[in-house]
Structures are given as structure tokens and as C-alpha cells.
Amino acid sequence: MSKYGFGGGIELPKSDAPAKPRPKVATESVEKAIQAGSELGFVSREPSTRLKPGPKRKEPQDKVSIPGPKRVVDEFRAFCRERDLTLWQGLEVLLSEKHHGPS
């Protein structure tokens, strides 16, 4: 007995026949199978090329961090949330009103 408690193992039958080449599958058959699979709700498991999340950047980007009183920051965030704006869009709206007057 070996140290794992098993005997000598099992004997596999000897195979003299060379491995049979797999028959070629017609492209048409593969396409039909893929179509049938998608109709049944199967999805590809192939890795897809992932794009970075978020909107496409149409202009150069930068960041600003403005520490300030919580009440002011909370009011600004609420202003943006009520209008369904991102923070930068909210800032742009406020700057636009300052430069061009209320819309």
C-alpha cells in the first residue's frame, strides 16, 4: 500500500489505434446551432472587449477638489440631484447663470 492508502492503481486497456481525426463541421451547421442557442437564451462565454465605463470624453478632463462647509456641499449636491445633473454639470449651470443670467 502506498502512503495514501491506495493499492497499485488500475490497469487501463492498451490502445493501438491512432486517435481518429474529428470530422470537419460545416460552417452552416455551426451558424444554425448558434442561432438555435441564442433563441433559447444561451449567451456566449467568450470574453468580450470591455470598454471603460462612463460616458465618452469629448474634451480634455481635469479635477477640482473644494473643501468647504458641509451645509454648502450638501446644498450643491442636492441642487445637482434635483436637476439630475452630475456635479460638473451643476457647476457649469451655476457658472452659466452667473455669466449669462438665469435661463
**pLDDT digit string, tens, across residues 36-74:** 877 787 777 777 666 666 677 788 889 989 899 999 999
Residue 89 belongs to domain spanning:
67-103
CA–CA separation, 69 and 80 (whole Å): 17
pTM of the full predicted structure? 0.43
DSSP assigned state of 22: P
Residue 85 inside a domain? The answer is: yes
Residue 20 inside a domain? The answer is: no
Residue 5 corresponds to which amino acid? G
Residue 52 inside a domain? The answer is: no
pLDDT value, residue 102: 63
Count of domains observed in the chain: 1
pLDDT band at 98 (very low <50, low <70, confident <90, very high): confident
Residue 37 inside a domain? The answer is: no
- Which helix H or strand E contains 38, and what residues bound it? helix 27-39
pLDDT value, residue 71: 97
**58-63: Cβ within 8 A, 24+ apart:** none
pLDDT value, residue 37: 77
Question: Could you tell me which residues come within 8 angstroms of residue 79 by beta carbon, excluding any fewer than 6 positions away?
Answer: 85, 90, 94
